Amino acid sequence: MGTTTRLVTQPTTSVGWRTNRRVHYALKMTLVYLCLAAGGFFVSVPFAWMLSTSLKTLGQTFIFPPIWIPVPLQWVNYVKVFEVLPFMRYFINTVYVSGLSVAGILFASSLAGFSFARLRWRGSTVLFVVVLSTMMLPPQVTMIPKFILFRILEWIDTYKPLIVPSLFGTGFQIFLFRQFFSTIPREIDEAARMDGCGFVGTYARIILPLSGPAIITGFLFAFRYNWNEFLEPLIYLNTHSKFTLALGLRLFQGEFTTNWPLLMAASTIAMLPVLLTFYFGQRYFIQGVVISGVKG
């Protein structure tokens, strides 16, 4: 009789436990999504304000409480951005500098990361630690020495100070690629070596085609940084026709007044390439970050 009772009550206890677990999980996920939604809302408010202001007149900008949907929409502000200043020239300059810088960073960093992940030579670990230590060095520390060096080389008011240092890679990107390459089995290298591939051949023909997530992740990090860089162009560039977008945006701010609608319209245009690249590469970006073990 006791055995029969246990057989009847055991499924009831199991079902109740599973139900409580599902309810607990549902409540937990609901709380997580509510927090994410709240965070997303607060993050999106500045972008909504920027877009709204870009479609206002200068007088509507200072109305309180603010008008989120102005009537009529001033789409002409986006046209005036290119009429008031040579904004297209700034855009092309930024594409040129960012494109070459990102290409140099990806090539040098991926090659260095591959050598650290695959080659074992005396002092490699020490050198890798030295490379990582450069990530802890504030850029302000090297600002004056670099300026003196580039002035001696007569590179001031050229794009060389913005591009040439990228050809040596960065500590973060080298770490990113090294971590990713360490997840690729070494048996692939050995098979390539048996087929006659050397170090460079293995890197170019075997490893790089498998490194899509890491390359896209590195591209997004490098592109965002170089596209938005303000301090270095401000230091090294003097001619207005050579300005990048970051410097061009500053010109919309006058000494006594600022044309906020034009500034916000220009900022929206300058932000679009970064948003588009992240939107199309976000799946590979997340995969590359997870595999490489990089935390933001």
* Residue range 4-51, pLDDT digits in tens: 545 444 555 555 666 677 778 888 888 989 998 988 888 888 888 899
pTM of the model as a whole: 0.81
What pLDDT, on the 0 to 100 scale, is given for residue 160? 94
What gap in Å lies between CA 165 and CA 157, rounded to an integer?
16
First and final C-alpha spacing in the chain: 61
Q: Are 252 and 206 in contact (CB under 8 A)?
A: no
Nearest partner of 242 among 85, 83, 89, judged by Cα = 89
On the question of pLDDT at 107 being above 70, the answer is yes
Distances (CA, A) of 271 to 41, 52, 274, 275: 19, 15, 6, 6
CATH architecture of 81-292: Orthogonal Bundle (1.10)
| Predicted local distance difference test score (pLDDT) of residue 13 | 59
Instruction: Report d(CA 249, CA 241) in Å as an integer.
Output: 14
Query: For the segment 60-74, what is each residue's pLDDT rounded down to a tens digit?
Result: 888 888 888 888 888
> What is the Cα–Cα distance from 66 to 45, expressed in whole angstroms?
13
Report pLDDT digits (tens) over 237-294.
Answer: 999 899 999 999 988 887 667 888 999 999 999 999 998 988 887 777 666 555 555 5
